[in-house]
Each structure stands twice: as C-alpha cells, then as structure tokens.
Amino acid sequence: MNKLCLLGLVVGLASQSVMAETNATLLHNKNAFIANLMKQMTLDEKIGQLRLISIGPEMPQPQILKEIAAGRIGGTFNSITRSENRPLQDAAVAHSRLKIPMFFAYDVIHGQRTIFPISLGLAASWDMDAIGLAGRISAIEATADSLDMTFAPMVDISRDPRWGRSSEGFGEDTYLVSRIAKVMTNSFNGQHPGGADSLMPIVKHFALYGAVEGGKDYNSVDMSPTRMYQDYLPPYRASLDAGAGGVMIALNAVNGVPATANTWLLKDLLRKEWGFKGVTISDHGAIKELIRHGVARDDREAAKLAIKAGVDMSMNDKVYGEQLPALLKDGEIAQQDIDNAVREVLGAKYDMGLFADPYRRIGAAAQDPQDTYADSLLHRPQAREVARKTLVLLKNDNQTLPLKKQGTIAVVGALAKSHLDMLGSWSAAGVPNQTVTVFEGLTNAVGNKAKLIYARGANVSDDPKILEYLNFMITEVEVDPRPAQEMIDEAVKAAQQADVVVAVVGESRGMSHESASRTTLNLPGRQRDLIAALKATGKPLVLVLMNGRPLTLVKEQQQADAMLETWFPGTEGGNAVADVLFGDYNPSGKLAMSFPRSIGQLPVYYAHFGTGRPYVPGKPGNYTSQYFEETNGPLFPFGFGLSYTQFSLSDVTLSNDTLKRGGKLTASVTLKNSGKYDGETVVQLYLHDVAASISRPVKELKNFQKVMLKAGEEKVITFTLSEDDLKFYNSQLKYAAEPGVFDVMIGLDSQDVKQQSFSLL
C-alpha cells in the first residue's frame, strides 16, 4: 500500500469514528430529551400520543382542536394543506400543557399533487433514477403542503393479480421490490429525515399483506417460514435498513395470529432480530378488528393484545384511549408497555425535527401559496419523463407502432377521455382535471398534422351492481346510458373512416384499489365485444391498456396488431402515451408482474419452485405439472417488454467456472441494438441453485442493468457475482450459500435467457 492510500485509510477511519461519535451524541441527546419529557407527562397525555386520527365527520375541526389542546391526539392524517394543519399545530404548541407538536400524515404513494404512474407502473420502468425522482418530488410537494409523514412505500410482494392492491405495490419479485423499497425510502427521506422537505416513510403493510388467500382483500395469510423469510420479508427490511422511520402493521393474520396482535412479528422479528428502532402504527381501525379476527373478546382485550404485541400508535380507533388506563390500573399491562410505545412516537417526532421547529413544514401563513391547487406548482415535465419509462410494449406486429402523425386516427374507449382514471388508486391530492387524458395527449401530439375522431365504444362497466359498488363514495365510473350496441356501432363507423384505430381499454381505477378484488381478470363490461367489432373492420388495431393489475388478454393479444400497457400513468399520462405511440420515445418498460393466460392458472409467477415432474415445452404434457386445458406458463412473463428497435444478446461468458467464498465472479454478455432506433432495454440476471438442501426456485432475479444503446451499437454488459448472491434461508432459517452448481441466466425477460453454470466451492 502506498503512503497516499495509507493516509486515505487513516483519514477514512478517523472520520468514521468521528461520525460514530457524533451519531452516538445525537442519539444520547434525543434519548435524554425524550426521557425528560416523559417524566413530565401524565398517563392521559402519554396515551394521547398513541392516538392517530383522521379529520372527518366523526371528528370535526372544533372538536379536534379541543382534543389536541387537551393532549389527547398525537397526530392526524388526511388533512393536507398548510392552512388546515396550522391551527391544529397551534392547538398543540400554544394550548396543550406540554406543547408536544403534532405530526401530519397522508398516503402519498405515487405523488402528492403531481401524480406519477401507479407503483406497479413505476416498477415497470426498472429505472431507479426515475423512481427516485418520483419519490423526491412527492416528498417536496407533500412537505410543501405541511405533511411530515407518508404511509409508504407499500412494498407488499403481490403474486395474485386478483388482489386490487397489486396496483399499489411494485410487483411480484423480491429483488426488484427490495431495490425499489430502498430507493423510495431514500427519496422520501431526502438529505436527512429532519429536513424541511423530508417526508418520513412508514413502510407497509407489515407483513405479507400481498399474500392474502385467493387475492381476496383482508383475507388471512398462511405461509411457510422459509418462503416468508426468502420472498416476502426482504422488501420491508430493505426499506427499514434504508431509514424508514416506521412500520404500518398489516390488516391480515400471519399464520393464525393477526399482525396487529402478533408479538412474534412486531417484537421478536422486527425489534429483536432486525434491530428496528422507530414507530409502529396500526392500520385503520385494526386494533378493534382483533375482535372480529377472533382473538379478542372485547375492546379491552383487543387493546391489551395490541399494546403488548408492540403496536405503538392506534390509527382511527378509540380503544387505546378508552381501555389502557383500566388495563394498567388492574395490572394487566405494565407502565413499560405504554412507555415503550410513547417513546417511539416522540422519537419519530424528534427525528422529523418537530421539537426543534413544529412549523418546519407548515411554514408561515404569509408564505402560503395563493392557490394550493395551482397548476404552476406541479412538476409536469418530470411526470411525463417518468411516465413514458413505465409504459410496456406487449405486442407490435408489422411495425404498427410507432404511428405516423398523418391521416385519420380513430380513438375509441371511455378511458381515452377519462381524467379521473389517469390518476390511479391512492392519488393523494391529485386533481382529475389537471391530468392529460390519452385523447388530449394524442391531440397535443398531432396538432393539425392528422385528424382524430373519437367514439366512446363501450362503458368500462354496465353492471349495476359493480357500478353501485365502485361509485359508493364518488362517481368513479361514468356511464353513457345509450344501448351498448349503439356505442359499438358508432365506434365501428369511426374505425371505418380511419387509417388506424387506437382503442383505450381496461379497468376503471377503482377496480384496482383497496377492497377491489376480482374473480375474473377480463376486460370488464362490453369492451371485449367492442374490440371484436373493431377487429372485424380490418383496420390496424392498437390497444392502449389502462389497468392496475395483470389482466387475462389471450384473445385481445390475437386480435390486436399492437398493445401498449400504460397502467394508470398519472398527471402527464396522456402526453407520455402519445410520446410512445408516435415514437417520440422508444418504449423501454418491462413487466414487474407476470400476466396469466387465465384465472385458473393463478398463481403465476416466474420464481416458482421446480417439481419432480416439470412440464417441458414441446414435449407431451402427460403426467407433468401443468393444466391440460391451457397453454403452459404466462401470456406475458415477468421482465417482458418490447422496443421499437431489436436487441439481441450473445451467450454468457463467465470469468471462471468456480467461485470461491469471499471471491468474485463476473458474468458478461454482449448486448446489441440491431434495429434502426436508439433504445433502452433491461438486461436481467437470474440464478438457480441446482441442488441444495431445500428445493430452490427455478430462477430468481439477482441483478439487472438498464442500458441505452444507439441504433447499431453494441456493448458488453458485466455483472459481478459473489457468495452473497447465492445465499438463501434453509429449513432452519439459516441464511447461507451452499456449495454446488449454480445456473446463471441472462435475458431481456425472465423466460428467454442464455445460460451458463459455475460452482461454489
């Protein structure tokens, strides 16, 4: 080692120890501050801190102000402007005895005012910078609105598209979701959790919510420990390791014990095994729900189970306030149980910088924007930039796309002109009228170069029961009362006059939401009849899909000449879709969830286990693991997405055929853009442990690179592998790599891969 290096090392070590010392001092100061404050708190004030409530009809503002001043509320959610939250903070810091500041939370999932594509769409970008940008802008806008905390990232692995909340997460894959969990957490946190534009991330829903039985929302989860540790828990851990300030507890039971009463989950795993220091928050009304889960007799027992399990804050129910004092008096819970929870709530407030300045994010009234909803406050260019990266080209025969900006284009479909649906589920403070619809995006793009004609074609649903369900709060799904056939005929007429048909079809946003599980994954309503009628015109047919989950699209894939999956693409969605349809942006998205052929195939996910009788493509299927009525495998696999250009991959070259523990091995491929457009694609690396102590998935994503190549360009893409990439949880839940042979597979999707093998010594 030369002198310079040595000096660098010494300086590095010294600065690390200074940092460690500073961190220790900061932690000491925080603990001392909180201990001192807690000494002054009455029992009622302590319990008040554990209450997180939503302003609504049951809790109108005058009452809330009184409760805050009495020290009976720790934080609120769903009040989302500076002028709404300022008086609440005034009530806490000017009128409550100990002046403990409030915090203000909200579900900022994929944007606050500027709405980015839904999370499943963001995941399809496989672009960590784009996802980070969406997270950072969300935090900037939310904190400018006075918010301190978001109930995000939502990192539940979802492998069952019947579950409506698939839209809200980042898909089926543990590695991809964990990478995104880290990026989202960092981008919400910003430079430092206490910063004025830092939004405290509360990762959710802990744990396993995405695995609800049958994809039915709120259902229970029963899962083997190895699968839990290997596949479902890592994304939560990744977010916590990246600095999430808290955890929202899932509504489901985990192996028989509701998460809200699950001491193993909240204490043994979260606190002891993972060393988590931060606040745990129940989901909405979840403590009281312990009664209906069948583990608590009454409110009293529910409160006892929750506080003992380690639920610090209770969201929107009164049981802590009503039950904890008597439980303590009767010796059924200890003072320590309450104090532990209070310490974490105060700790979160401390970390958010609220004791230093309760108005850090509320600011001064004089600086409030004149119009919180002003368009000038949006981040439109960034929303468009991110949205176009999330669109996935599923089919493109005969170079139907990109379209030319000429001639006549028939635009068909109720969703083509729907502002509300562009926002997707959990759209925070997004305003429908500020979104650009697909029709508007196409209009902006063609100017006067081409003629657009529009026909509605079909309602997204005509079923009165479904409409009643979806429209129970606001009119989510608009219905054109004309007879269905009349609308289809009108669309056919429009198609006949056009050179190409762009049909925008899919789900309404409310169909892919909380409490929106489905038993079919078809295009709803008469949209399938509409597509058949459009196909019959013989005009080139482009399907623009809007949906928040994988759908079953076997027939549509045969009928369409081109298909573009656009999810619910957000504020600038229409412009982003137009960018891709006209080739102003070459699509680069890849699916983050497999698209099944039929509902009976579920679950369909790429990282499934092998069986003793695997189905082998091209061979007779008898006595192999498959369904005899259905083509094997998904319609569109995980990681799949086309481009306007053609990419090809060479065989895989390994630097060595053995890997030593502690050593490294590289796997390289040459990626070539042999088409005529510049473009980006995602090179994906999968591993398979050929013979281990327990059966391992047929392949698992372990790394990827998103690569931009000019037309004709080629590039060597190299991945470095180490022992860590080979580790898994064995039947004793020991995380280790076992010696033996590993297949390394590299591809542009999870199915079509090039393979090599090496051994771990």
Residues binding ligand BGC (CB under 6 A): 107, 151, 204, 283-284, 514
| CA–CA separation, 329 and 393 (whole Å) | 63
Tracing tokens 């998205």 back to the chain, one arrives at 589
Measured from the CB atom, is 107 or 462 closer to ligand BGC? 107
Least separation, in Å, of the C-beta of 514 and ligand BGC?
6
Closest residue to ligand BGC, Cβ-based? 151
Measured from the CB atom, is 71 or 201 closer to ligand BGC? 201
Least separation, in Å, of the C-beta of 187 and ligand BGC?
19
Alpha helices in 330-403 (DSSP H): 335-351, 380-389
Least separation, in Å, of the C-beta of 246 and ligand BGC?
12
| CA–CA separation, 154 and 513 (whole Å) | 13
Strand partners, 745: 686, 755
Instruction: Specify the amino acid at residue 387.
Output: A
Residue 172: exposure state from Cβ atoms within 10 A (0-12, 13-18, ≥19): buried
Least separation, in Å, of the C-beta of 151 and ligand BGC?
4
Measured from the CB atom, is 283 or 312 closer to ligand BGC? 283
| CA–CA separation, 420 and 415 (whole Å) | 9
Measured from the CB atom, is 283 or 556 closer to ligand BGC? 283
| CA–CA separation, 285 and 321 (whole Å) | 13
Measured from the CB atom, is 252 or 566 closer to ligand BGC? 252
| CA–CA separation, 239 and 589 (whole Å) | 24
368 is catalytic: no
Report the SS3 class of residue 302: helix
Token pair of 547, please? 């949906």
Least separation, in Å, of the C-beta of 205 and ligand BGC?
6
Strand partners, 658: 759
Burial state string for 346-365 with b = 16 or more CB within 10 A and e = fewer than 16: bbbbbbbbbbeebbbbbbee
Indicate the pairing of strand 700-709 with strand 679-689: antiparallel
Strand partners, 496: none
Least separation, in Å, of the C-beta of 281 and ligand BGC?
9
Q: Are 541 and 560 in contact (CB under 8 A)?
A: yes
Measured from the CB atom, is 107 or 317 closer to ligand BGC? 107
Least separation, in Å, of the C-beta of 284 and ligand BGC?
4
Dihedral sign from CA coordinates of 80, 186, 122, 247 = negative
Measured from the CB atom, is 204 or 535 closer to ligand BGC? 204
Measured from the CB atom, is 286 or 562 closer to ligand BGC? 286
Identify which of 627, 647, 639, 642 has the alpha carbon closest to the alpha carbon of residue 749.
Answer: 639
Least separation, in Å, of the C-beta of 392 and ligand BGC?
26
DSSP structure class, residue 247: E
Least separation, in Å, of the C-beta of 56 and ligand BGC?
11
| CA–CA separation, 315 and 321 (whole Å) | 12
| CA–CA separation, 647 and 25 (whole Å) | 54
| Catalytic entry in 127, 231, 283, 725 | 283
Least separation, in Å, of the C-beta of 211 and ligand BGC?
15
Strand partners, 659: 760
Measured from the CB atom, is 338 or 428 closer to ligand BGC? 428
Least separation, in Å, of the C-beta of 261 and ligand BGC?
17
Least separation, in Å, of the C-beta of 505 and ligand BGC?
28
Token pair of 66, please? 């009184």
Measured from the CB atom, is 151 or 355 closer to ligand BGC? 151
Q: Are 320 and 314 in contact (CB under 8 A)?
A: yes
Strand partners, 247: 203, 280
Least separation, in Å, of the C-beta of 761 and ligand BGC?
46
Burial state string for 529-565 with b = 16 or more CB within 10 A and e = fewer than 16: bbbebbbebebbbbbbbbbbbbbbbeebbebbbbbbb
Measured from the CB atom, is 204 or 688 closer to ligand BGC? 204
| CA–CA separation, 77 and 434 (whole Å) | 24
Tracing tokens 């979806």 back to the chain, one arrives at 470
Burial state string for 256-284 with b = 16 or more CB within 10 A and e = fewer than 16: ebbbbbbeebbbebbeeeeebebbbbbbe
Measured from the CB atom, is 105 or 544 closer to ligand BGC? 105
| CA–CA separation, 458 and 517 (whole Å) | 22
Identify which of 643, 589, 581 has the alpha carbon closest to the alpha carbon of residue 443.
Answer: 581
**How far is the CA of 640 from the CAs of 103, 121, 235, 301, in angstroms?**
42, 13, 22, 49
Long-range pairs for 537-541 at CB < 8 Å and ≥24 separation?
537/492, 537/495, 537/496, 537/501, 539/410, 539/495, 539/496, 539/498, 539/499, 539/500, 539/501, 540/398, 540/400, 540/499, 540/500, 540/501, 541/500, 541/501, 541/503
Measured from the CB atom, is 249 or 487 closer to ligand BGC? 249
| CA–CA separation, 202 and 5 (whole Å) | 41
| CA–CA separation, 440 and 434 (whole Å) | 12
| CA–CA separation, 546 and 387 (whole Å) | 13
Token pair of 272, please? 């002891």
Phi, psi of 475 (to 5 degrees): -75, 95
Strand partners, 565: 392, 545
Active-site positions?
283
